[in-house]
Amino acid sequence: MGNKPSHQKLQEERTVFLSKDNAVYRIPSLFYDRDNKSFMAFAEQRSTADDASTKHLVMKTGTLKKEESTGVRTIEWSELKVVKEAHLDGHRPMNPCPVYEKTSKTLFLFFICVQGVVAECWQRFWGCNRARLCYITTKDGGQTWSGVTDLTHLPDINEWATFAVGPGHGIQTESGRLIIPTYAYASCSASYCCISCYCAVPYGLALYSDDKGSNWLFGEMLETKSVECEMAEVSEDAGKNYIYCNARSEGGYRVEAIDTGAGFITLPSAGKLVETGGGCQGSVVSFPAQSEGDSSPNKWLLYTHPSDQSNRINLGVYLNKSPQDPNAWSKPWIINSGPSGYSDLAYIGDGWFACLMECGVQKYTEQIAYEVFHYSQVKKNTEE
């Protein structure tokens, strides 16, 4: 009982988006600009917790602060701003998913625009897509944005019952490829729209660009049924880079897959990364191996997701030093006890990470909060 007030205070200090009457914030997305040493946090603003009530995408910018006496890092956030450019008439914007193109210093904010209040389950049932694939760009940290670019003309979309991006974040590989994680419901009746479609099955896949965002294409779908996903670039001892994908599932455990250049291959589950209830989004980032003494070209993985197999509670941080081995995942370090939902990770550098997370005292929709932590904390709290 005596610890409860301080816990409440800690929650308030970590708040980025606080839900209230007629304004519920969900679906966190986080980007860290290493050039300007600043954060951009995105979310959906809804009238209620329901997906169909989304009104706007909103954002805040943040500056990392260091407490000199303790070394603790905190983030100082700006006032909330509605990203009014992320809009199509008659549609609601959803699933913010930014990716940064380093050469042109351009941030692409991808999202989907869904017609009216049409639900995803309706689109899946009828095989009738009502979502549009969109992005806007900024070169000044979100102070100004371009108009909307609509990519729904891409041919693959015509074959799907519906689709979505992310949510979370995209990546730029060392080769310069931009990747937006995506999932699509492959309709069993691609030739006809609005006839009953009972067998639309979701699969994760990548939307990518090899020309700094001028043109975009879809890659091949994962072999295994999978939904919301995030991707990271990792490397092996031989120095070859590949793409790792971690996806939501309905099978009790997460779907993991790797793409070494010939399409995604699903890794066998080791039962270490549990899925929660009917599924929940999770986040993954790669970061330079934190080897003691020896420098290493390898990259490790950090992953966040509710650690309970039944309910969205107890957000865990998991570490994997051998990304191709599902058995190498650590036990979770719980960074938020109690109600926990969607999350998004960013690697800051020098072993530091930031995480946005849905959380609350009674419900995970009460707020989107942040946590900043160091690899040394991860190591200490995930060791057996």
Burial class of residue 337, CB neighbours in 10 A (0-12, 13-18, 19+)? exposed
279: region left, alpha or beta (phi > 0 left; psi from -120 to 50 alpha): left
Instruction: For residue 24, give the nearest of 43, 10, 9 by alpha carbon.
Output: 43
Catalytic residue status for 100: no
CA 224 vs. chain centroid, Å, equals 19
Handedness of CA 285, 333, 95, 17 (dihedral sign): negative
Q: In angstroms, what is the C-alpha Rg of the chain?
A: 20
Catalytic residue status for 50: no
Neighbours of 102 (CB within 10 A): 12
Handedness of CA 367, 51, 226, 130 (dihedral sign): negative
- Token pair listed for 180: 């937006």
CB 336 within 8 A of CB 312: no
The order of strands in the sheet holding 91-101 is 91-101, 106-115, 131-138, 149-150
Burial class of residue 68, CB neighbours in 10 A (0-12, 13-18, 19+)? exposed
CA 302 vs. chain centroid, Å, equals 13
SS3 category, 4: helix
Marked catalytic residue, from 51, 85, 156, 210: 51
SS3 category, 317: strand
Catalytic residue status for 120: no
Handedness of CA 108, 114, 116, 120 (dihedral sign): negative
Marked catalytic residue, from 120, 230, 233, 358: 358
295: region left, alpha or beta (phi > 0 left; psi from -120 to 50 alpha): beta
Marked catalytic residue, from 318, 342, 364, 370: 342
Q: Which residues are catalytic?
A: 51, 342, 358
